[in-house]
């Protein structure tokens, strides 16, 4: 199971020194700003109203809406007690890029495809490695360039990208995972501040 530890570490590093500023706090209506007081990136806002939560900032911009849950802080508190839940939370996202091309998923498929056909097509693994995985001619960072690398592949075995319904090379976008961590962390900061003033 993926606990998204790498994404959590990235979030923690990029928000080190962030402080919360409450611009508005009236029941379900909140506007909280999280930023480093020194000039830096990765500022984000959490804005809530009945049945809605928006996170906006330097990169992650998402809107979540749930009925009949009035306070989405309650939803994220309850379901995020043991870490982020991107699979469940993506169902609540009504705006924002939740999924995107995954170079890692593509490479995993490519290696598996080559390994499973190596016996019938000797040298296939070496050819895939030289022409695609370690080639200076092809970047696998984007779907289009990965598709071009497969189309340009020259060996006895013809690589064929599976149809999207057969295999997905998408995963949660870094922005979505970052936003999930930010929401959980931001709510915890808010709760801690409320506990001090209670």
Each of the 198 residues of the chain gets a pLDDT tens digit; together they read 456 899 999 999 999 999 999 999 999 999 999 999 998 899 999 999 999 999 999 879 999 999 999 999 999 999 999 999 999 999 999 999 999 999 999 999 999 999 999 999 999 999 999 999 999 888 999 999 999 999 999 999 999 999 887 889 999 999 999 999 999 999 999 999 999 987
73 and 132 share one domain: no
Give CA–CA dist 187/102, Å, rounded. Answer: 29
The pTM of this model reads 0.85
Q: How many domains does the chain have?
A: 2
> Between the CA of residue 30 and those of 34, 60, 69, 112, what are the distances in Å?
13, 18, 16, 49
Cis preceding linkage at 68, omega within 30:
yes
Residues 83, 41 share a domain? yes
Phi and psi torsions of 100, nearest 5°: -155, 170
Looking at residue 138, its pLDDT comes to 81
What was the pLDDT predicted at 151? 93
**Both tokens assigned to 52:** 């809605």
72 and 123 in a single domain? The answer is no
The helix/strand/coil state of 164 is: coil
Eight-state DSSP code of residue 102: -
The whole-number pLDDT of residue 1 equals 41
| Same-domain pairing of 178 and 86 | yes
For residues 180 and 91, state if they share a domain: yes
Owning domain of residue 146: 102-171
pLDDT at residue 10, rounded to an integer: 94
Exposed/middle/buried for 134, CB within 10 Å: 0-12, 13-18, 19+? Answer: exposed
> Do the Cβ atoms of 108 and 116 come closer than 8 Å?
no
Nearest-angstrom CA–CA distance, 48 and 50: 7
Looking at the fold, whether 143 and 83 belong to one and the same domain comes out as no
Q: How many CB atoms lie within 10 A of CB 112?
A: 10
């Amino acid at each position: 199971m993926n606990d998204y530890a790498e994404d959590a570490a990235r979030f923690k590093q990029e928000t080190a020194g962030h402080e919360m500023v409450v611009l508005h706090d009236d029941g379900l209506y909140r506007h909280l700003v999280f930023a480093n007081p020194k000039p830096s990136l990765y500022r984000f806002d959490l804005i809530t109203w009945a049945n809605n939560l928006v996170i906006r900032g330097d990169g992650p911009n998402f809107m979540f809406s749930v009925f009949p849950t009035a306070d989405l802080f309650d939803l994220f508190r309850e379901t995020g007690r043991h870490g982020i839940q991107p699979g469940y939370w993506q169902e609540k996202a009504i705006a924002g890029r939740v999924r995107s091309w995954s170079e890692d998923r593509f490479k995993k498929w490519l290696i598996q495809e080559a390994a499973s056909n190596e016996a019938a097509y000797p040298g296939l693994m070496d050819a895939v490695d030289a022409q695609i995985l370690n080639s200076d001619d092809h970047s696998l960072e984007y779907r289009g360039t990965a598709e071009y690398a497969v189309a340009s592949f020259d060996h006895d075995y013809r690589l064929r990208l599976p149809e999207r319904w057969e295999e997905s090379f998408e995963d949660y976008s870094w922005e979505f995972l970052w936003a999930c961590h930010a929401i959980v962390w931001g709510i915890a900061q808010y709760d801690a501040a409320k506990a001090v003033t209670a």
